[in-house]
């Protein structure tokens, strides 16, 4: 898996996490600017942790059964 795969995965995860956190903040009644700032911060932190752990696991040969993000997992189905 090349760097393009990980960049696409990062952007996908970041977008999903960001949207979820913004929605949660807005539902709690926070202002839009505050919600956006906090969401960018926490989405960046959580996405970095997720991607770093997935790269580490991928290099060790541990595949995510839920993600099915490796060629071995895709052809095995």
Handedness of CA 16, 47, 58, 5 (dihedral sign): positive
How is residue 48 written in tokens? 């970095």
Number of domains in the chain: 1
Residue 9 predicted with pLDDT over 70: yes
Q: What is the mean pLDDT of residues 22-42?
A: 96
Residue-level pLDDT at 46: 97
User: Alpha-carbon distance 22 to 33, whole Å?
Assistant: 10
CA proximity to 22, closest of 74, 14, 49: 14
Answer with the residue of higher pLDDT: 62 or 8: 8
What is the C-alpha separation between 46 and 68, in angstroms, rounded?
A: 20
Enclosing domain of residue 63: 3-75
pLDDT score for 70: 60
The residue-averaged pLDDT of 5-31 equals: 95
């Amino acid at each position: 898996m090349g760097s393009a795969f990980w960049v696409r995965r990062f952007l996908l995860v970041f977008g999903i996490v960001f949207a979820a956190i913004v929605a949660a903040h807005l539902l709690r009644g926070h202002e839009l600017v505050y919600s956006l700032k906090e969401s960018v911060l926490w989405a960046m932190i959580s996405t970095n942790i997720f991607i770093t752990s997935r790269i580490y696991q991928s290099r060790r040969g541990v595949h995510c059964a839920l993600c099915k993000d490796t060629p071995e997992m895709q052809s095995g189905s």
